[in-house]
Amino acid sequence: MQHNGIPYILGFCLAVCLFCAVVVSTSAVGLKDTQELNKELDRKSKVLAVAGLIAEGAETAPAEIQSLFDKRVKSIIVNLENGSINEELSKTASTYDQRKAAKDLELGQDAPKHPFGVKRIPKNALVYLVSTTDMDGEGNGFELEQYIFPVEGKGLWSTLYGFLAVGPDFNEIKGLTFYAHLETPGLGGEVDNPSWKKKWIGRRVFGPEGSTPDQWDGVKVRVKKGIAGSPDEDPYYVDGLSGATITSNGVTHLINFWMGENGFGKFIMETAKNAG
């Protein structure tokens, strides 16, 4: 066969393509567990960061992240339809994939029409409970400090996935962070700006400081167009993102949904009622 002939060239190209495909496929399969572990560690580091247990973006060793998470965070699974804790699923909450559950025909459901823009939501969702003190291996010594809720919703170009941390009253915001999105850097991507995220701390989700659930009238916190005052002056408003109105509105919508009656609202009201 001539080395400069068409059959040889085509055969050589096919052989190279097959070899590369085998290498890529083998690498993908071999690295899958490592990639999943890294994703899980990244989510846990975001939970710890929004809870104020580690510095945002700090270089923290994986073993330290896992140890701190185990000592200070409990994971439970909540039934969104009635607000109850799913005790059975909560036993394996550490391996529960909420995003995968939303896509599953049995574990997920169509989302109600809402400006947050997501088509499918899970029937059961994760909630993280943060302790003020270290727990032992059995979860003893837990003292509630914060609830952390996974939130998601459409921005301009992508779905934003993040966590909203609130105090034990469910009303005072302790932090907001996003761990995945494809918004425009410098515009909608400013949801990652530490100075903007700090502006959420101390805002109120439902009502004024000291108010009780029976006095609340829906989710009030939102991103406004322009500059908001301090949490004392503007308890329900956060600065808008300059040049990113759609992303700003998206953040408002996703918090409104997940803290409302179709999201974690029933769990919040049931838990607050039982605590009272």
Confidence grade of residue 59 (pLDDT, cut at 50, 70, 90): confident
Distance CA 233, CA 216 (A): 19
pLDDT at site 5: 66
pLDDT exceeds 80 at position 13:
no
Inter-CA distances, 102 with 97, 122, 263, Å = 9, 4, 13
pLDDT at site 8: 66
Give 170's contacts (C-beta < 8 A, 6+ positions apart): 147, 205, 206, 213, 268, 271, 272
Q: What is the pLDDT of residues 172-196, one digit of tens each?
A: 999 999 999 999 999 999 999 999 9
pLDDT at site 275: 74
pLDDT exceeds 60 at position 33:
no
pTM of the complete model: 0.87
Beta bridge partners of 124: 79
pLDDT at site 43: 87
Q: What integer best gives the mean pLDDT of the chain? A: 91
Q: What is the pLDDT of residues 94-118, one digit of tens each?
A: 889 999 999 999 999 999 999 999 9
| Domain residue limits, the chain | 38-275
Confidence grade of residue 127 (pLDDT, cut at 50, 70, 90): very high
